[in-house]
Structure 1
């Protein structure tokens, strides 16, 4: 096998800083550490692309949580212009996240099977991505059931439990609409945030009013920014489903659950539901 000299740094040496000589760029972006984080376990051509793309996705999940958490705080502070800027950045990040699938979108089952064999039977499933779960909770897709895969990691499990109980971005947006005088029922704003959000006709009517009332332009722009976030997030999930069908087929996934069926059900969970249903009456 040809030596990949750019990867010859031993991880423990790179991380401990024992190698002499560096540059500001290397230090700021922790380049040595980054290039020691990919550990291929097979000779499969696509494994390096799979590892790097998965790691990049994890970084983007963290970035999206950072941005959506910021947007939530800005909405809570009634700073709609700041929230709009943050959400527009978020849409750009989601476009980049979707593009990460391109590195192995044409992988076949024969390319994937050797990699899957090394991952084990359920032990290294994407369902264990706790940062993705944080992202889903921030977007309002709450599910106590999804804490279960993280029970063996107490700190992560506790963090997710806290995120489950916290208001989502959409919860804070609905509270903002109520503060601005829109007739939202208290059941939509003051509720147990750990429960899955259930769409309500009164909220749908409030969004229709936002889009019709010229004095609520900033809230209409907020609604459109949220719609773009939901759209791009759904596109990422759609490509996830397509790639899974292409590489995996309809074989069982995490602990014998139907992977394709689970992803299809996830696609049916609409983010910010009344922003979509209200368009029928606009």
Structure 2
């Protein structure tokens, strides 16, 4: 028997680790691990379904955290608190990195493996995720039609409608930059925020001013942080398309969606478009 095995066999002597709990452990009471671990209920005997469920549920948790951080950042920008805003955006960048890595358990599903449980989720589809829709609305990618799809669940619809009617994260970034003396066009600042945000030449000029200014200016750091976020969102979308392409090719998706074609169109839509366009002019 080697030393490592002996160490593992030694009895636990710390009384705090062996003291019986009164009811649920404090850890479970705080983290709700027993609740989380009860939510995986595969409907088939397919060995890959559990991984699919866990991966999807983990992504929903990352969506929730990212939405929380973007809302925090949006409020901070409205208060001209750049420090608090960038702190929240930095935390969201770490969460987005983790979100991208969450594809790993199901990234290599073959069509046969996917077909082993695909019929079990019937009309369910990832595009129905309300929390992911909050993410897209916060990015300025508003859609009245996709909001309407959630009318059947009143609480979900009302919460999503509030995000739909509110300014996006990027709207608040641009309003903040204007208050800092940068010439964000009036028609951008006063636009209908329920409409999808599209690039504007005047906003390109604002970012050109930032990118041709002092190399250590805080607004340049903000531009790069937003670009990081845009890139991570885009990578996640393209990875989603790749996972679907590998598992089911170009077949129609569940719930009547166009499947791969729809995902690829969404992935091609730029996030914070002027931050990408300005790079060709600097």
1:99, CA displacement in angstroms?
0.8
Give TM-score scaled by structure 2 length.
0.89
1:26-65 equivalence runs, <5 A? 26-65=28-67
The corresponding residue for 1:75 is 77
Partner Cα distance (2:113, 2:204) in 1 = 46
1:216, CA displacement in angstroms?
7.9
Partner Cα distance (1:60, 1:267) in 2 = 19
Contact between 1:107 and 1:246, CA under 8 Å: does it hold in 2?
A: yes
1:254, CA displacement in angstroms?
4.0
Q: Deviations over 1:96-120 (max 9, x none)?
A: 0011100111111111113211111
Aligned length: 262
1:1-282 equivalence runs, <5 A? 21-120=23-122, 122=123, 124-214=124-214, 217-282=217-282
Q: Which runs of 5+ in 1 are unaligned?
A: 1-18
Range that drifts further, 48-57 or 74-83:
74-83
Structure index of larger Rg: 2
Q: Secondary structure at the match of 1:140?
A: coil
Give TM-score scaled by structure 1 length.
0.89
Partner Cα distance (1:68, 1:112) in 2 = 33
Range that drifts further, 198-207 or 214-223:
214-223
Partner Cα distance (1:79, 1:237) in 2 = 30
Contact between 2:125 and 2:255, CA under 8 Å: does it hold in 1?
A: no
Range that drifts further, 226-235 or 140-149:
140-149
> Residues 254 and 149 from structure 1, CA distance in 2 versus in 1: closer, same or farther, beyond 3 angstroms?
farther
1:213, CA displacement in angstroms?
2.0
Partner Cα distance (2:237, 2:138) in 1 = 16
1:148, CA displacement in angstroms?
3.0
Q: Superposition RMSD on alpha carbons, in Å?
A: 1.6
Partner Cα distance (1:90, 1:41) in 2 = 33
1:215, CA displacement in angstroms?
8.9
Range that drifts further, 168-177 or 149-158:
149-158
